[in-house]
Amino acid sequence: MITESPRFGDSSVITDEEPNLEVSGLSVAYDTDAGPLTAVDGVDLDVRPGEFVAVVGESGCGKSTMAFAIAQLLSPPARITAGEVRFRGQNLVTMTEAALAPVRWRNLSVVMQSAMNALNPVLRISAQFADAMQAHGVRDKAEIRERSEQVMDLVGIDRAHLASYPHQLSGGMRQRAMIAMAQLFTPELVIMDEPTSALDVVAQRSLMLQIKELQRQLGFAVIFVTHDMSLVSHFSDRLMVMYAGQAMEFGPTRQVFDAPAHPYSRGLLDAFPSITGPRERLQGIPGSPPALQAMPAGCRFQPRCPVAFADCETVAPPLYPVDDVQARCLLHAPERSGR
């Protein structure tokens, strides 16, 4: 019998609770005729039960590749070249497909970027829910029907739409249906890869509020991948800013927004308009992220950085502690910052 998880309560971070996901030194490369190209380079990440962690950055910075690597959903030519992904104490990287199958959906689920592409266009929503449950050993038709109706209720979609095909639903409803499918077994962790990218701003906010309410009810943790920093400003507990395959800054969301420690984070924030205060001219970040085959020798953001200095061209910065965040910027090196 599928029952709702007892993990209820709000989604605030419990600081003394052990992470249920620990990513250490994760690197991913794409194999090409010219050799492997590293798309994710030595990323560390931990997620605690009930926590909402956002991952932001421009397109091509490795966000989705990292998310798929965590879920072990990479396909050739992409492959993990280094690091560990420990979920509930098990290293997913070394597990076989047979061992991973019971973990996916039941303990860890994924909401894809485009629900129209992720959902099977020739199957009704009910059939797709049934496929997921049957793959995990649920055979009773009445039980499948009951759980399908329960998760549709959770995301605010009329049960009648279980009989609908994906094309008969709006974009927002398709995304909610994907989230409903991800909750069939009330997993401990849900990875969401830009689930709002195809929605208008009203539908985006509605979906974000729905996700937070579900998280409050069920207590699952979220890794939320997006290119829109403003979207997660009031929803995430911690924020990772990625650039050129690396984490540039990682820490409490409020601190990153109030006092960004990395010039790239500042640039992303300056690119979004504020709805309060005087009207200001938006400041975009000149240039574009580097190609995988042409990474700068020093700081990867240096060619676009407004405060770069000579060392930035040759010295690759590690992550430095800056109050409660970590920032990959030589401005925070002890010899310069006086820390």
Residue-wise pLDDT tens digits, 93-145: 999 999 999 898 899 999 987 766 789 999 999 999 999 999 999 999 999 99
pLDDT exceeds cutoff 60 at 84: yes
Q: Average pLDDT, stretch 185-203? A: 89
**Amino acid sitting at position 102:** P
Residue-wise pLDDT tens digits, 21-48: 999 999 999 999 999 999 999 999 999 9
Quickly state the pLDDT bin for 275 (edges 50, 70, 90). low
pLDDT at 63: 96
Candidate from 197-206, 209-218, 245-254, 290-299 with smallest mean pLDDT: 197-206
| Domains present along the chain, CATH in parentheses | 7-107+187-275 (3.40.50.300), 117-184 (no CATH)
Torsion sign across C-alpha atoms 220, 5, 110, 293? positive
